[in-house]
Structure 1
Amino acid sequence: MSSRKPIGEAELERLQNQSFSYFLHETNPVNGLVIDKTAADWPASIAATGFALAAYPVAVERGFMRRAVAVERTLTTLRFFWNSPQGPEPDATGYQGFYYHFLDMRSGRRAWQCELSTIDTAFLLAGALTAGVYFGADTADEYEIRTLADQLYRRADFQWAQNGAATLTHGWKPESGFLKYRWQGYDEAMLLYILGLGSPAHPLPESCYRAWISTYQWEHSYGYECLYAGPLFTHQLSHLWIDFRGIRDAFMRVKGIDYFENSRRATYVQQHYAIENPHKFAGYSRHCWGITASDGPGFDTIKLSGIERQFFGYLGRGVPYGPDDGTIAPWAVVTSLPFAPEIVLPTIDYFINQVKLTELNPYGFKATFNPTYPVESSSPCGWVSPWHYGLNQGPIVLMIENYRTGLLWRLTRDCPYIVKGLQRAGFGGGWFGLSQPPVTDF
């Protein structure tokens, strides 16, 4: 057993600060758009931009950024989205209050003929609503932040996104209409449904949420019973904003747990999977795990030690059914910090101090590494992604803060739209009846 002292608050704050610096340096100051990943000529991600909006309050509280600078950045971003072209034209920024998944960093117009994304718009709107609650001062600029956040949220036509059916669609394209896929089965869409239910202008019917939870898949895995969703991020992203401790909907009342406990169990399943390591990948252990949607070494098939290994690029990796090619995503471990600190903190310590994953990396952890993939390197990391992603950096910043102070959870408890959405989804108990719900102490 290691005699190392557990990772401390200073190391967590350093990682949080390094991760936040992505938003300082990878944002267009003219429009507030955040680049999806640190590759040349890459577009912005509206989800990463939403994470930035939610991270600015954290940065102010932590002293990473002055409040005046955060107000300026937030206003720039919200003004851009409010004034950007909305319409069915293929080069618009959005339509029906939703926005395209990827936008050109400079013009802010649709990139890559991508889809109008319902889930990524939810992350953007959640970030805007966070800003609207946090920036509550009696000044013209902060009043404008609150007004724009409210207007952007009210503009999103969640009923349109149903396309006449019970559940929500993944998105829409001007060339072909609605995508064939719908949000069904437990995943990160919890936030999307709650925002839709709380909308004051275009609210989803309560039957929409009931239709969604009817598609859940409850499973027994590695000694834990929980909702199945393979990639670890699906158990995390709605929790960036919503404190699910002690509150339950109809589904969880029957199961006798809450969604926070469900995510805790899913985190343990990930660790147990790595300990068992059914495919015998290099590096997997109780302190080296974290399988999620992530970058990878590339689509390739290689014979290693007599075993034919198939590797992937960016893919939704998952546990326990795969796909799995030996790729570990440290950010996904950090984002489970509030759920299971007793296993997450030693893993963060291992990533920082044993395999040195933050060395020479300006934004903290690189996205992923794969010790199994053959590379000419003496590093225990093996292949390491050359990129940083905004989708990884934001959850690190927000969930470290939720673990330390519960800041994001407190802010969204003060957002009447999110509270209304939870109530219409049937949630009750817990902090709905408490003025000061407990927060994890560091």
Structure 2
Amino acid sequence: MTTKLLVLLCLLLPGLLCAQQKPAPKKAATTKFDPRQRPRNLTDEQLLDQVQRQTFRYFWDFGHPVSGMARERSNVAYEYGNEVVTTGGTGFGIMAIIVAADRKWITREQAATRILKIVKFLEKADSFHGVFSHWLNGETGKVIRFSQKDDGGDLVETSFLFEGLICARQYFTQETKTEQELRNHILWMWEGVEWNWHTQGGQNVLYWHWSPNNGWSMNHQIHGWNECLITYVLAASSPKYAIDKKVYDQGWATGDYFRNGKEFYKTKLPLGFDYGGPLFFSHYTFLGLDPRGLKDQYADYMQQNQAHTRINYAYCVDNPKKYKGYGPNSWGLTASDSYKGYAAHSPSEDLGVISPTAALSAMPYAPAESMAALKHFYNDLGDNIWSEYGFVDGFSEHHNWYAKSHLAIDQGPIVGMIENHRTGLLWKLFMSSPDVQRGLTKLGFESPQIKK
């Protein structure tokens, strides 16, 4: 989940439990899924295919029947209700659908039709200066309030959505009626997002939320280092409502947790929290934004993400709290469900819970270590953690706890980041956008993929 949700759920509501979860409605299956029947003795490539394809089903089979958008989670918790769809998770789901089309698990026409359905629904849904809320009702398009005053535009969730939509616009370039229509509708939505509105009247920082009922009262400035780099990149890339570089320098690249420079487990960490924080910081922005050779005045972003991953891995191998099950083939701390409720797992908040998305989405940064974890999760633990939608959200061998849930924002990066490791597909698509290239150049980034 996003930093905002971590703040709300992990700091304000530490005792919130997931105990009273009910399955969300889904299509009736003719036979109950049995993880013990999963294919065995797969090659590495076959295993990667199996995990990506099964995880993709979360977005395809379990997508909301009216809107096509990604459901927030596969169960009902915290009194969400059955209709909750997620803006950011839908962006990740769109990227998973592109991967599925490219690997021919579905046809190209099926993929374009589903994404067009999502886009047309969003065009009629509630938005605020072109910015969408964190949650929507997947049937009506009306805002579902995320917290007491969070009932309007969420700029970060909107950036995750458009990360996926920009990839879709770059992928679906054929002159069929569906693909032409999809490109046009994405462009109209993209041009309509008023990123600079979220500077709250011209301040040199972006604000996370604005609401027609509560204005700027949440007053949440977006500072780094966390998952929100993509928000500043897209805000600078906007064709009509772009921010200036000083908003990036004075807004994003400031605060108590931007620069680091210290060593943890003999690895120097350029940016962020001590020990790196939850691993999703290195996943969400970089589903589309290619970190290979990406540099600006603050960091080399491949080095940053590799360092973050190595520290997370080394901590789990060291296992200072002596949790059962941690080791070289079972590692990865990031935000996910836990036996205590939703938690921002990291070396600084270690509850003994491994989140499969952490190691699997780190495949581009630590391929050998990620593959070892994938084989262990699937071959050795699969009876407990493999399901019809891929791996469950989290597990703790120490506490003999295995989640039954899946979350869109954890499932999506598994499909996308494994694909980026294998082919670089989403990186190539996102970085090929002329708007993105212009925005990165404006902010002072260097990349082999930026055309001079």
**What's the TM-score bracket when you normalise by the shorter of the two chains?**
0.7 to 0.9
> Which residue of structure 2 lines up, in the alignment, with residue 344 of structure 1?
370
Report whether the alignment pairs 1:214 with 2:254: yes
In the TM superposition, what is the alpha-carbon distance from 1:217 to its structure 2 partner?
A: 2.5
Q: Provide the rounded CA distance (Å) in 2 between the counterparts of 1:358 and 1:51.
A: 25
Give 3-state SS (helix, strand or coil) of 1:399's partner. helix
| Secondary structure at 2:194 match in 1 | coil
Q: 2:223 matched to 1:175? A: no
Tell me which residue corresponds to 1:38: 74
Task: Tell me the residue number matched to 2:231.
Answer: 192
Written as runs of structure 1 = structure 2, the 5 A alignment for 1:80-91 is 80-84=121-125
Structure 1 residue 232 and structure 2 residue 279: aligned? yes
User: Helix, strand or coil for the counterpart of 1:431?
Assistant: coil
Deviation at 1:166, TM superposition (A): 1.8
What is the aligned partner in structure 1 of residue 111 from structure 2? Answer: 70
1:248-397 correspondence runs (5 A): 248-252=295-299, 258-298=300-340, 313-319=341-347, 322-356=348-382, 361-373=387-399, 382-397=400-415
Among 131, 136, 151, the alignment partner of 1:98 is 131
Question: What is the SS of the residue equivalent to 1:318?
Answer: coil
> Counterparts of 2:243 and 2:232 in 1: how far apart (Å)?
8
Give the structure 2 partner of residue 10 of structure 1.
Answer: 46
Q: Which residue is equivalent to 1:51?
A: 92
CA distance in 2, matches of 1:5, 1:265: 32
Shift of 1:120: 0.7
- Pair 324,199 (structure 1): closer, same or farther in 2 beyond 3 Å: same
The alignment of Structure 1 onto Structure 2 pairs a total of residues equal to 394
1:139: which partner in 2?
A: 176
Q: Which amino acid aligns with 1:94?
A: S
- Describe the superposition over 1:4-31 as per-residue Cα deviations: whole angstroms up to 9, x where unpaired: 9996000000000000011111212332
Overall identity of the aligned pairs, in % = 30
Contact 1:6 1:345 survives alignment (8 Å)? no
* Counterpart code for 1:330: P
Residues 118, 170 of structure 1: 8 Å contact kept: yes
Write the letter of the residue equivalent to 1:318: S
Runs of 4+ aligned structure 1 residues displaced above 6 Å come to none
The alpha carbon displacement at 1:247 in A equals 2.5
Answer whether contact 1:34 1:44 (CA < 8 A) is retained: yes
Rounded to whole Å, the distance in 2 between the matches of 1:244 and 1:407 is 13
For the 8 Å contact 2:236–2:443, the answer to whether it is kept is: yes
Please report the RMSD computed on the Cα atoms of aligned residues, expressed in angstroms: 1.9
Match in the other structure for 1:440: none
- Judge conservation of contact 2:283–2:362 (CA < 8 Å) in 1: yes
The whole-number CA distance in structure 1 between the counterparts of 2:329 and 2:159 is: 33
Unpaired runs of 5+ residues, structure 1, are: 85-92, 253-257, 299-312, 374-381, 435-442
Matching of residue 415 in structure 1 with residue 433 in structure 2? yes
Give deviations 1:344-367, integer Å, cap 9, x for gaps: 111111111122267651011000
Cα distance in 1, alignment partners of residues 118 and 356 from structure 2: 29
2:265–2:315 CA contact under 8 A, matched in 1: yes
SS in 1 for 2:101: helix
1:153 Cα shift?
Answer: 1.2
Q: Which residue of 2 aligns with 1:404?
A: 422
What's the offset of the Cα at 1:420? 1.2
Q: Distance in 2 between matches of 1:410 and 1:196?
A: 20
TM-score by length of 1: 0.85
The counterpart of 2:293, out of the listed 243, 246, 251, is 246
Query: Does the 8 Å contact 1:36/1:390 carry over to 2?
Result: yes
* Corresponding position of 1:310: none
Query: Residues 164-190 of structure 1: CA distance to partner in whole angstroms, max 9, x if unpaired?
Result: 432211212343222222211211111
**1:357–1:366 Cα contact (<8 Å) kept:** no
Residues 368/113 of structure 1: CA separation in 2 closer, same or farther (3 Å cut): closer
CA contact (8 A) 1:267 1:340 kept: yes
For residues 112 and 423 of structure 1, what CA distance do their matches in structure 2 show? 36
Q: Partners in 2 of 1:161 and 1:421 — Cα distance?
A: 17
Kindly state the Cα deviation for residue 231 of structure 1 after the two structures are TM-superposed.
0.7
- Are the counterparts in 1 of residues 124 and 141 from structure 2 also a CA contact under 8 Å? no
Q: 217, 240, 254: which one pairs with 1:201?
A: 240
